[in-house]
Amino acid sequence: MEERITLQVARYRPEQESKPTFEEYEVPLREEWAVLDGLNYVKDRLDGTLSYRWSCRMGICGSCGMTVNGEPVLTCAAFLSDFAPGPVRVEPLRNFPVIRDLVIEMTDFVHKLGRVKPWIVADDEAPPEGAHGEYLQTPEELEEYHQYSMCINCMLCYSACPVYGLDQSFVGPAAIALAQRYNMDSRDAGNALRMAELSGHDGVWGCTFVGECTSACPKGVDPAGAIQRYKVTAATEAAKSLLLPRAAEK
């Protein structure tokens, strides 16, 4: 007989219930099955009303993040066998409102992402070079920001961040890491625009360097490091803006 493992899954309809409850489901414990496969088994065979997000099933889209046995993880990359003999407790990502069951409201994150302009801001006075009007870049220049470009917007770092948990005005780890990704890109001219967004009280200075964001990242990005680098840049810029006018007066 096939081995099985128990999933304890959070169920919640906020418009009808005052708090979440847990439902237990027995699913096959197969070596190649991730937690997401267990949830898909529940949805397909046991209870079609269960709600959760997923798409790529290969750690790329960032949509399947949930809290599994207390830790924020991508459920397509967390294997059931790692939690054997179980039970496996599956809850929505922390620090976000729940829409239903395991589905969280991500509007706040999307808004914050937009604030840091996570795209290449062109310098109108320095048009692209090269035969076809391309922005050319060396492998060394690419290496400068490469790790930050691995972010998949899964929001695990927000779920792990105690600062964001206490104060949701904090712009948060992934948005700052992505701001750094573009600031460090040799083709970008948006540093000053992003600095204006991130040097305020809800920007980089909100971070107390707990480092949980970096530990939680499934793609090896270091948002905590990005934030500290940003603090150094912000402090340097502020010092320059104070000192330069005085130097000009002399």
Q: Which is nearer to ligand FES, 149 or 168 (CB)?
A: 149
Closest distance to ligand FES from the beta carbon of 159 (Å): 14
**Which residues lie near ligand FES (CB under 6 A)?**
54-57, 59-64, 74, 76
Nearest Cα to Cα of residue 36 among 54, 59, 48? 54
DSSP per-residue letters across 209-229: ---HHHHH-TT---HHHHHHH
Q: Which is nearer to ligand FES, 206 or 218 (CB)?
A: 218
* Token couple for 142: 């690419």
Give the β-pairing of 98-100 and 103-104.
antiparallel
Which 3 state secondary structure label does DSSP give 113?
helix
Closest distance to ligand FES from the beta carbon of 37 (Å): 11
Q: Which of the 8 DSSP states describes residue 245?
A: H
Closest distance to ligand FES from the beta carbon of 92 (Å): 15
Backbone angles phi, psi at 73, to 5 degrees: -145, 160
Q: Which is nearer to ligand FES, 68 or 207 (CB)?
A: 68
Closest distance to ligand FES from the beta carbon of 56 (Å): 4
Long-range contacts of 126-129 (CB under 8 A, 24+ apart): 126/189, 128/187
Q: Which is nearer to ligand FES, 40 or 183 (CB)?
A: 40
Q: Which is nearer to ligand FES, 64 or 80 (CB)?
A: 64
Residue 72's DSSP bridge partners are 67
Closest distance to ligand FES from the beta carbon of 72 (Å): 13
